[in-house]
Homo-oligomer: A and B are copies of this chain.
Amino acid sequence: MVMREPELTPLSIQTVAADSYRQAKERMREAIARYAAEGRYRLPSEEELSTALGVSRATLRSVLQSLQKEGRIRRLHGSGTFINRHTIGIAANLAEASPFVDLLTQAGYRPAVRTLDQRLIALDDELATSLELPAGERALRIERVFDADGKPAVHSVDHVPATLLGEHPEDSDPRRSTFEFVETDTGTPVCYSVAEIRPVLPPTAIATALGLPRTRPVLRLRHTHIRADELPVAVTVVHVNDDYLRFSVIRTYLDQ
């Protein structure tokens, strides 16, 4: 089964819950870029920021804490909140949980997503172990490619246990993101993800989907998504052509 959705706009897979928080964070990001461009690296007070961005103090605080965790800003006890200047140019921060369409947009590309395949499978040992299920249990497997300006940049395969997806998991809308599947269908949000990072030569099928020779290393990210009740609810294996997305991480040492 191959489905093509060339018309799919980025917005249609951005339906992870808290939209207002995400909008506030996006506005804060833009504000940081503006301040930095003006050479103002010390952020205004929380009061001024919440007024300037039109968000509540509580939302602002969550946004600042998130940006701090990602390494974009630092808070120095007693002297304020500062922009980490050398992080301004980073388009893809591995610590940020942005959907690939957003990452590709931030990297300057016109993104699109194609669902190559969607089917029910029986979990192999490795997937079953990660999902804390017996091997052989059924799961929905969704294979996608994310394009950058029409060229394949990221190959992604999600695995969601069928037991989490209602009576007819095979009929799930393939355009929904992994998070939508898991959160909408189970009613419990994903709380954290663990991503293992490996440099690999792509398996043949993935090399073909990405239009790469098999001798070209790609970054493999294997995510296990964990729900608030500590149940692993999905495994997503991603292969990234780093011509399009070059990930960074930021480590901060001194902030509060």
Contacts and interface: CB of A to CB of B under 8 A. Distances in A.
Given A191-B254, A226-B86, A254-B228, A199 B218 contact: yes
Contacts of A230: 41, 85-86
Contacts of A193: 250-251, 253
A199 B228 contact: no
B232 A190 contact: no
Contacts of A218: 199
A209 interface: no
A96 B228 CA distance: 23
Copies in the complex: 2
B191 A95 contact: no
Contact of A250 (B71, B192, B201, B219): B192
B242 A97 contact: no
A45 interface: no
Interface of A: 41, 62, 65, 68-69, 71, 74, 84-87, 90, 94-97, 189-201, 215, 217-220, 224, 226, 228, 230, 232, 242, 246-256
